[in-house]
Amino acid sequence: MRSIYNGHHGAHAASKEFFRGRLVDAFEVPARADYVLKALQASGLGEILPPVDHGRAPLERVHAPAYLRFIEGAYAEWLATGGEGEAFPAVWPVRSLRSDVEPKSFAARMGLYSMDSGSPLTAGTWEAAYWGAQATLTGLNLLLKDAERSAYVLTRPPGHHAGADFFGGYCFINNAAVAAQAARDAGVERVAILDVDYHHGNGTQAIFYERADVFYASIHGDPQTEFPFFLGHADERGAGAGMGFNANFPLPAGSSNELWFEAFEKALDQLNAYAPGLLIVSLGVDTYGGDPISHFKLDRPEFRRMGQALRSMQLPTLFVQEGGYATEAIGHNVVAVLQGFEDLS
């Protein structure tokens, strides 16, 4: 299995974030990818490649151009307003407030294009996120053009919380969604996205919720108590043409590994019935028992078991890195999934 490494990821290096109302040291830091890279290099899994630039057009197939322009220029604008350090949203257009008019105020547009206060914009946010999408498209091309069976994309910041026109949950560009749309544009008739991150991929779900050509399935912490709170319930099955092509498996915090794998197998059953031509795995390993902001209990044997189960689907598979915040363990856990998929010890 070849990997694509976004060497630009370190340009986005937040020092602080708001976590459930408190200003704390950032959890989403460059060391996350550094530990994975080190584990990959020691694993013998295969060649590690740099991303190829596919331009802006594939991103605009998923994200609103006005939103992308904002993210690209936001930090410079923040500094021009007298801002210092990292920029945080502070006001949002919630119920009864208008969101159809883009305000002139920078603070107002920060709120218009965001969902939380936990995702600071830094000087290098656009660079890191842009090249993350390019790394994902490069990995996709290994499957579509080089006919490889699998590829892994090592990037950060993650992507699955980013919607068509908003950032949040550490996510700015939805890498899995960009890859799914690019695969459809390349002629893949049906694409499946399986999200195994502890947190529901609300952005990915929303982007494809009314479509039948991309099936989204997620196993995650119950949004009654776990971020992103306002999406990810079991009764969200799609809408319009997409009815039946969205499957959520929310589990209570502290669920056993057995319960997690029961939900995982149900998700695989639905994906197999869909018969996709390509599988994209939003690979969050914050389901690890030692993760500081999550509450499942998986460890290396379970991550390897996950990879083995994904291998049994016998599909071209693109793994895209999402969460995982126990930085010293993240590399071992990611490699365990990939080795399980490749049937390597």
Domain ranges of the chain: 2-54+124-342
Q: Which two tokens stand for residue 142?
A: 């290994």
Tell me the C-alpha distance between 210 and 208, whole Å: 6
Tell me the C-alpha distance between 204 and 311, whole Å: 23
Q: Which two tokens stand for residue 340?
A: 């399980």
Tell me the C-alpha distance between 162 and 153, whole Å: 17
Per-residue pLDDT of the chain (345 residues; tens, 9 = 90+): 999 999 999 999 999 999 988 999 999 999 999 999 999 999 999 999 999 999 999 999 999 999 999 999 999 999 999 999 999 999 999 999 999 999 999 999 999 999 999 999 999 999 999 999 999 999 999 999 999 999 999 999 999 999 999 999 999 999 999 999 999 999 999 999 999 999 999 999 999 999 999 999 999 999 999 999 999 999 999 999 999 999 999 999 999 999 999 999 999 999 999 999 999 999 999 999 999 999 999 999 999 999 999 999 999 999 999 999 999 999 999 999 999 999 986
Instruction: Show which residues are catalytic.
Output: 161
Q: Which two tokens stand for residue 63?
A: 């994200």
Is residue 203 within a helix (H) or strand (E), and if so which, with residue range? Answer: helix 202-208
Preceding amide of 157 cis, omega within 30? yes
Whole-angstrom CA distances from 271 to 5, 101, 339 are: 28, 39, 22
The 10 Å Cβ neighbour count of residue 309 is 15
Please give the pLDDT value at position 230. 98
Q: Per DSSP, which regions of the chain are E strands?
A: 2-5, 16-19, 22-25, 48-49, 150-154, 191-195, 214-221, 246-251, 278-283, 317-321
Report the SS3 class of residue 36. Answer: helix
Tell me the C-alpha distance between 126 and 173, whole Å: 9
Whole-angstrom CA distances from 273 to 114, 189, 215, 228 are: 35, 15, 11, 28
Please give the pLDDT value at position 174. 99
Tell me the C-alpha distance between 142 and 152, whole Å: 10
Report the SS3 class of residue 342. Answer: helix
Residues making up the chain, counted from first to last:
345
Q: What angle do CA 154, 231, 217 make, to 5 degrees?
A: 55
Tell which CATH architecture fits domain 2-54+124-342. 3-Layer(aba) Sandwich (3.40)
